[in-house]
Structure 1
Amino acid sequence: MLDRDLTRKEEETARRLLSYLLRHPEARDTLEGMTRWWLLEEEIHERLVEISQGLSSLVKQGLILEEHRGASLPLYRLNPDKKDEVKALVERLFPLRREV
Protein backbone atom coordinates (compact mmCIF):
# COMPACT_ATOMS: atom_id res chain seq x y z
CA MET A 1 0.00 0.00 0.00
CA LEU A 2 1.30 3.44 -0.86
CA ASP A 3 1.53 6.32 1.61
CA ARG A 4 -1.96 7.65 2.34
CA ASP A 5 -0.67 11.22 2.30
CA LEU A 6 0.09 11.11 -1.43
CA THR A 7 -2.11 13.01 -3.84
CA ARG A 8 -3.68 11.06 -6.68
CA LYS A 9 -1.04 12.42 -9.09
CA GLU A 10 1.81 11.54 -6.71
CA GLU A 11 0.38 8.05 -6.28
CA GLU A 12 0.21 7.63 -10.07
CA THR A 13 3.85 8.75 -10.35
CA ALA A 14 4.88 6.27 -7.65
CA ARG A 15 3.01 3.50 -9.47
CA ARG A 16 4.81 4.35 -12.72
CA LEU A 17 8.21 4.33 -11.00
CA LEU A 18 7.50 0.92 -9.48
CA SER A 19 6.19 -0.41 -12.78
CA TYR A 20 9.35 0.76 -14.53
CA LEU A 21 11.52 -0.93 -11.90
CA LEU A 22 9.60 -4.18 -12.27
CA ARG A 23 10.37 -4.14 -15.99
CA HIS A 24 13.98 -2.99 -15.38
CA PRO A 25 14.99 -4.37 -11.96
CA GLU A 26 18.66 -3.39 -12.35
CA ALA A 27 17.87 0.24 -13.24
CA ARG A 28 19.29 3.12 -11.22
CA ASP A 29 19.30 6.82 -11.95
CA THR A 30 19.20 10.32 -10.52
CA LEU A 31 15.95 12.14 -9.80
CA GLU A 32 16.38 14.07 -13.05
CA GLY A 33 17.14 10.90 -15.00
CA MET A 34 14.10 9.14 -13.54
CA THR A 35 11.96 12.08 -14.52
CA ARG A 36 13.36 12.38 -18.03
CA TRP A 37 13.70 8.74 -18.98
CA TRP A 38 11.86 6.37 -16.68
CA LEU A 39 8.56 8.21 -16.50
CA LEU A 40 8.69 9.08 -20.18
CA GLU A 41 9.26 5.43 -21.06
CA GLU A 42 6.41 4.34 -18.77
CA GLU A 43 4.10 6.88 -20.41
CA ILE A 44 5.07 5.59 -23.85
CA HIS A 45 4.61 1.97 -22.75
CA GLU A 46 1.13 2.72 -21.39
CA ARG A 47 0.15 4.72 -24.46
CA LEU A 48 1.30 1.89 -26.76
CA VAL A 49 -1.12 -0.46 -25.02
CA GLU A 50 -3.99 2.05 -25.27
CA ILE A 51 -3.25 2.92 -28.88
CA SER A 52 -2.93 -0.75 -29.85
CA GLN A 53 -6.39 -1.48 -28.45
CA GLY A 54 -7.98 1.56 -30.11
CA LEU A 55 -6.23 0.87 -33.39
CA SER A 56 -7.38 -2.74 -33.38
CA SER A 57 -10.98 -1.58 -32.99
CA LEU A 58 -10.67 0.93 -35.84
CA VAL A 59 -9.14 -1.71 -38.13
CA LYS A 60 -11.95 -4.16 -37.30
CA GLN A 61 -14.49 -1.45 -38.20
CA GLY A 62 -12.69 -0.86 -41.49
CA LEU A 63 -12.05 2.81 -40.71
CA ILE A 64 -8.29 2.31 -40.77
CA LEU A 65 -6.49 -0.05 -43.14
CA GLU A 66 -3.58 -2.23 -42.07
CA GLU A 67 -0.95 -2.83 -44.75
CA HIS A 68 1.67 -5.58 -44.62
CA ARG A 69 4.80 -5.30 -46.71
CA GLY A 70 7.20 -8.18 -46.42
CA ALA A 71 8.64 -8.83 -42.99
CA SER A 72 8.37 -5.22 -41.82
CA LEU A 73 5.88 -4.00 -39.25
CA PRO A 74 2.41 -3.17 -40.57
CA LEU A 75 1.56 0.35 -41.66
CA TYR A 76 -1.81 1.96 -40.93
CA ARG A 77 -3.75 4.54 -42.89
CA LEU A 78 -7.20 6.01 -43.27
CA ASN A 79 -9.54 3.94 -45.40
CA PRO A 80 -10.32 6.41 -48.20
CA ASP A 81 -13.70 4.74 -48.79
CA LYS A 82 -14.66 5.56 -45.18
CA LYS A 83 -13.38 9.16 -45.08
CA ASP A 84 -16.86 10.71 -44.81
CA GLU A 85 -17.85 8.22 -42.11
CA VAL A 86 -14.66 8.99 -40.16
CA LYS A 87 -15.24 12.74 -40.49
CA ALA A 88 -18.81 12.41 -39.20
CA LEU A 89 -17.62 10.23 -36.31
CA VAL A 90 -14.89 12.69 -35.30
CA GLU A 91 -17.33 15.62 -35.47
CA ARG A 92 -19.84 13.72 -33.34
CA LEU A 93 -17.28 12.62 -30.74
CA PHE A 94 -15.34 15.89 -30.64
CA PRO A 95 -17.81 18.62 -31.65
CA LEU A 96 -15.58 21.54 -30.59
CA ARG A 97 -12.59 20.41 -32.64
CA ARG A 98 -12.51 21.35 -36.28
CA GLU A 99 -10.25 19.09 -38.32
CA VAL A 100 -9.06 20.16 -41.75
Structure 2
Amino acid sequence: MSFTTRVTMTDEVQDIKLVILRYLQQHPGSEDSLAGITDWWVKRQRFDDSMMAVETALKRMVGEQIVVETNRNGVSYYRFNAKA
Protein backbone atom coordinates (compact mmCIF):
# COMPACT_ATOMS: atom_id res chain seq x y z
CA MET A 1 0.00 0.00 0.00
CA SER A 2 1.48 3.35 -1.02
CA PHE A 3 1.73 6.42 1.20
CA THR A 4 -0.92 8.18 -0.88
CA THR A 5 -3.32 5.26 -0.50
CA ARG A 6 -2.74 5.18 3.28
CA VAL A 7 -3.31 8.93 3.59
CA THR A 8 -6.47 8.80 1.49
CA MET A 9 -7.78 5.82 3.46
CA THR A 10 -6.95 7.56 6.75
CA ASP A 11 -8.76 10.70 5.59
CA GLU A 12 -11.78 8.66 4.52
CA VAL A 13 -11.89 6.77 7.83
CA GLN A 14 -11.65 10.04 9.77
CA ASP A 15 -14.46 11.50 7.65
CA ILE A 16 -16.67 8.46 8.27
CA LYS A 17 -15.95 8.62 12.01
CA LEU A 18 -17.17 12.21 12.05
CA VAL A 19 -20.27 11.31 10.03
CA ILE A 20 -21.14 8.51 12.48
CA LEU A 21 -20.51 10.78 15.46
CA ARG A 22 -22.81 13.50 14.06
CA TYR A 23 -25.49 10.89 13.43
CA LEU A 24 -25.18 9.54 16.98
CA GLN A 25 -25.36 13.03 18.44
CA GLN A 26 -28.62 13.59 16.57
CA HIS A 27 -29.95 10.08 17.33
CA PRO A 28 -28.38 9.08 20.69
CA GLY A 29 -30.47 5.91 21.13
CA SER A 30 -29.56 4.48 17.73
CA GLU A 31 -28.06 1.03 17.26
CA ASP A 32 -27.53 -0.95 14.06
CA SER A 33 -25.36 -3.50 12.25
CA LEU A 34 -22.42 -2.65 10.01
CA ALA A 35 -24.67 -2.90 6.95
CA GLY A 36 -27.36 -0.79 8.59
CA ILE A 37 -24.91 1.86 9.73
CA THR A 38 -23.41 2.07 6.25
CA ASP A 39 -26.75 2.12 4.48
CA TRP A 40 -28.80 4.26 6.85
CA TRP A 41 -26.58 6.33 9.13
CA VAL A 42 -23.71 7.24 6.84
CA LYS A 43 -25.81 7.80 3.72
CA ARG A 44 -28.47 9.75 5.63
CA GLN A 45 -25.98 11.92 7.50
CA ARG A 46 -24.05 12.68 4.32
CA PHE A 47 -27.32 13.59 2.61
CA ASP A 48 -28.27 15.87 5.52
CA ASP A 49 -24.79 17.46 5.54
CA SER A 50 -24.89 17.87 1.77
CA MET A 51 -28.34 19.42 1.87
CA MET A 52 -27.18 21.99 4.43
CA ALA A 53 -24.14 22.84 2.32
CA VAL A 54 -26.26 23.19 -0.83
CA GLU A 55 -28.73 25.42 1.01
CA THR A 56 -25.89 27.66 2.23
CA ALA A 57 -24.39 27.84 -1.26
CA LEU A 58 -27.75 28.74 -2.79
CA LYS A 59 -28.37 31.47 -0.21
CA ARG A 60 -24.98 32.97 -1.00
CA MET A 61 -25.65 32.76 -4.74
CA VAL A 62 -29.01 34.50 -4.25
CA GLY A 63 -27.25 37.20 -2.21
CA GLU A 64 -24.68 37.60 -4.98
CA GLN A 65 -27.54 37.69 -7.54
CA ILE A 66 -26.15 34.71 -9.45
CA VAL A 67 -29.41 32.81 -9.03
CA VAL A 68 -32.99 33.95 -8.43
CA GLU A 69 -35.18 32.32 -5.79
CA THR A 70 -38.93 32.00 -6.31
CA ASN A 71 -41.46 30.42 -3.98
CA ARG A 72 -44.38 28.27 -5.07
CA ASN A 73 -46.61 26.47 -2.58
CA GLY A 74 -44.09 26.98 0.21
CA VAL A 75 -41.21 25.46 -1.80
CA SER A 76 -38.24 27.51 -2.96
CA TYR A 77 -37.04 27.10 -6.55
CA TYR A 78 -33.77 28.44 -7.91
CA ARG A 79 -32.74 29.41 -11.41
CA PHE A 80 -29.90 31.22 -13.09
CA ASN A 81 -30.24 34.99 -13.00
CA ALA A 82 -30.04 35.86 -16.71
CA LYS A 83 -29.94 39.58 -15.82
CA ALA A 84 -26.68 39.23 -13.90
Larger proportion of helix: 2
After superposing on structure 2, the runs of 4+ consecutive aligned residues of structure 1 that deviate more than 3 Å are: none
Which runs of no fewer than 5 residues in structure 1 stay unpaired?
1-5, 83-100
Aligned match of 1:78: 80
Q: Which has the higher contact order (CA 8 A, sep 6+)?
A: 2
Alignment correspondent of 2:10: 7
Letter in 2 for 1:34: I
Paired residue for 1:45, among 43, 48, 53? Answer: 48
Q: How much has 1:80 moved relative to structure 2?
A: 2.5
Compute the TM-score of the two structures, normalised by the length of structure 1.
0.67
Unaligned runs of 5+ residues in structure 2 are: 1-8
Higher alpha-carbon Rg = 1
Alpha-carbon distance in 1 for matches of 2:71, 2:16: 37
Matched, 1:16 2:15: no
Q: CA deviation at 1:45?
A: 1.4
Structure with greater proportional strand content: 2
Say whether 1:34 aligns with 2:37.
yes
Aligned residues: 76
The answer for the alignment partner of 2:62 in structure 1 is 59
Offset at 1:74? Answer: 1.2
Could you tell me the TM-score, scaled by structure 2's length?
0.78
